[in-house]
Structure 1
């Protein structure tokens, strides 16, 4: 049977998208992340594929391209939802601090664990391997926290987005340190960031002003193509390209803040806002499609046997414990005692996979088991699933109690009213003597 014939691929892709939509519905009802269901679907398809065909298929090129596009769409989707207001400043700064310190703390502990337990692992390589394992997955978090309290949902969107961007920047800084002459050290890295921000701001203003004048109905995918082009060119020039996407999303989502004074005269707010609204929808839909195929293909590439290794399980469990230990200290410091379910919402995912495959050949350690990567991704996702289900049950219990109390109060008030009426009315009124 030719599994990869044209019509079969169309059928397979369509069925996967339909199942992904169903998984989203299941996720909303149960709080099981849809991404986890997609990975398990990919694992099942791996066995189906091996049964139907003996040919080995290299899915990595498709996985890499989907991952890059998915990352861009997810960061853009998150940026389009971020409102920059004075009352948002404190939540943003808190989220930034938690994301940064959490990234560094988790990477440090994970690097120490890898250095101690993985043979031939140097400290420099340990940091490089630990960084992808320390980055939160906005691809999993953002779709999963929609049912949380608005302030908690906002925190997770900010934190996961910052973690993605800073984690990627940290990874490529460490890669550059393998050959310091090519990067120029910390000073060269800082200059790179400043240059990227300047280019991002200029490009964002230009894109908004140009695209508000385009009358074609097909301009949204043109806009996405321009953003993908800027990202890819930025990568070729060794810039922090994800900042371009983030800054563009922030500027178009907060146009009244960025277009002030004389700049406001150049902005047609109604047209630009229409672009923002339609771009938000297209980005959401595109992120859904790309995320779906990325995690299914990732499931297809998983080596299941590696999960049953004792050394893989030991190292992975130590890393997972270190993640929540760092997170507990940070959340208690910045948010006090109200840290549930935020404490357990720290899954690893898309960026972890992408950066793992981006580790340069000269830094790769043959004794490192890829199963550690898979174990941490699935383990952290399962912990998040448990926390979300527990939080949902708790919320339902509180709502049920509130409804019972309200109903009880209503019935009590109704009973009192009836009793008062009964007392005020004499059931045996005396006859008026005049009527006798």
Structure 2
């Protein structure tokens, strides 16, 4: 494969991804599903070129990490911290947290029942990636929903990503510490301390970055800013900090500058220049997230085997986990949202984070009895359920609009009364 062939291939993938996005807007079929099936279709081409044995995992891992950062940053830039938003944000956080823990508990129980060699901790480690919502799929898919529902999904999926990653690395830290000779891992107190330290570091770094970058006059500073954020994320991971919090906090600070720059520090903020950084960063994150998301799911499609879906045990375990996901979701939404829970109930796809964390499971926690087909089944199954729900919602909204247009508002001529008529 020469460089020009690679350029042609990558260009065609990006062009197809754009058209998949346009198709998704009209049909509500997630573009991610189309990208995965494109990757599966490309398997035959690689077989023909005798490149099927190429190890795509390093590419998948790097794309996943960059995609995760860009998607969380893109979501954070959309979050407005206003008093009227506090209640919806709090509800979204509680639903994301409750959904994560209850879904992980249910999935862990199902996995332990069918795979007896799993320990409780290993079951939770495997169950956590299966319980995290995919903001990579949700955020582009809910753009046509009512504003309050759209914001709910942005908040919820972003919180689910961050909380899920924190829970996963807390659990893997416990098992790695135990394998190294420790008795009880690093404990909740240590984890809480690390999280608090990460938040403090994130706030300090966010203020410093914004104040420094508003002074830079070069027109190429936005990719420099992205490089700084990637550097901070990678250093944070090496220091075992919850690095995704750094990205979230920075996004929140720059999206809500007036809230974070108050009192004496307000005079250090050049609002015009800072807003220019925000606008430019918003465009770059959207474009970068689109490209990275495209190649991540195509490469993921290249690495999976559809034959695993035909295993009856895989199908049974997966269907039980999917059922538990929607049962937990129904209970939480009914309690905290009320009766208007459609299509939110069925918008719970698994995707980028699920794949990324699955490949990050340490060897000490790996169980041979777990079949990767479960992962694929859940991603495709939850995405298809969301597709059906979104198509139904679009049809329902279309019918409501047509009904409203059919019943035109009537009008009658009105004549202002004369003075003598009023006197009578």
Q: Which TM-score band applies after superposition, normalised by the shorter structure? A: over 0.9
> 2:252, 2:222 → 1: CA distance?
17
Cα deviations by residue, 1:129-186 (Å, 9 ceiling, x for unpaired): 0000000000000000000000000000000000000000000000011115496211
Cα deviations by residue, 1:234-272 (Å, 9 ceiling, x for unpaired): 000000000000000000000000001110110000000
Alignment of 1:365-380 (within 5 A): 365-380=367-382
User: Quick one: which of 242, 250, 253 aligns to 1:251?
Assistant: 253
**Is 2:142 the partner of 1:140?**
no
C-alpha change, 1:43 and 1:374, in structure 2 (3 Å) is same
Mind listing any 5+ residue stretches in structure 2 that lack a counterpart? 414-424
**Is 2:266 the partner of 1:237?**
no
User: Quick one: which of 269, 276, 279 aligns to 2:278?
Assistant: 276
Alignment of 1:30-429 (within 5 A): 30-53=27-50, 55-178=52-175, 179=177, 181=182, 184-406=186-408, 409-410=409-410
Q: CA RMSD in A?
A: 1.1
How many angstroms does 1:120 deviate by? 1.6
Is the CA contact (8 Å cut-off) linking 1:259 and 1:267 kept in structure 2?
Answer: yes
Paired residue secondary structure (2:407): helix
Paired residue secondary structure (1:346): coil
> 1:113, 1:183 → 2: CA distance?
25
> 1:335, 1:189 → 2: CA distance?
31
> What is the aligned partner in structure 1 of residue 23 from structure 2?
26
> What is the aligned partner in structure 2 of residue 431 from structure 1?
none
Moved over 6 A (4+): none
Is the CA contact (8 Å cut-off) linking 1:141 and 1:156 kept in structure 2?
Answer: yes
Paired residue secondary structure (2:218): coil
Is the CA contact (8 Å cut-off) linking 1:306 and 1:371 kept in structure 2?
Answer: yes
C-alpha change, 1:18 and 1:54, in structure 2 (3 Å) is closer
Paired residue secondary structure (1:168): helix
How many angstroms does 1:54 deviate by? 5.3
Is the CA contact (8 Å cut-off) linking 1:132 and 1:352 kept in structure 2?
Answer: yes
> What is the aligned partner in structure 2 of residue 422 from structure 1?
none
Paired residue secondary structure (1:368): coil
| TM-score, normalised with respect to structure 2 | 0.95
> What is the aligned partner in structure 1 of residue 416 from structure 2?
none
Is the CA contact (8 Å cut-off) linking 1:328 and 1:343 kept in structure 2?
Answer: yes
> 1:356, 1:346 → 2: CA distance?
18
Is the CA contact (8 Å cut-off) linking 1:183 and 1:189 kept in structure 2?
Answer: no
> 1:194, 1:255 → 2: CA distance?
22
How many angstroms does 1:282 deviate by? 0.5
> 1:220, 1:404 → 2: CA distance?
50
User: Quick one: which of 9, 13, 36 aligns to 2:10?
Assistant: 13
Query: How many residues are paired up?
Result: 408
> What is the aligned partner in structure 2 of residue 432 from structure 1?
none
Paired residue secondary structure (2:145): coil
Mind listing any 5+ residue stretches in structure 1 that lack a counterpart? 418-436
> 1:176, 1:159 → 2: CA distance?
25
C-alpha change, 1:119 and 1:306, in structure 2 (3 Å) is farther
Is the CA contact (8 Å cut-off) linking 2:56 and 2:299 kept in structure 1?
Answer: yes
Is the CA contact (8 Å cut-off) linking 1:73 and 1:283 kept in structure 2?
Answer: yes
How many angstroms does 1:290 deviate by? 0.3
> 1:184, 1:106 → 2: CA distance?
24
How many angstroms does 1:52 deviate by? 3.0
> 2:126, 2:369 → 1: CA distance?
12
Paired residue secondary structure (1:81): coil
Is the CA contact (8 Å cut-off) linking 2:43 and 2:52 kept in structure 1?
Answer: no
Is the CA contact (8 Å cut-off) linking 1:42 and 1:296 kept in structure 2?
Answer: yes
Is the CA contact (8 Å cut-off) linking 1:17 and 1:289 kept in structure 2?
Answer: yes
> 1:243, 1:368 → 2: CA distance?
31
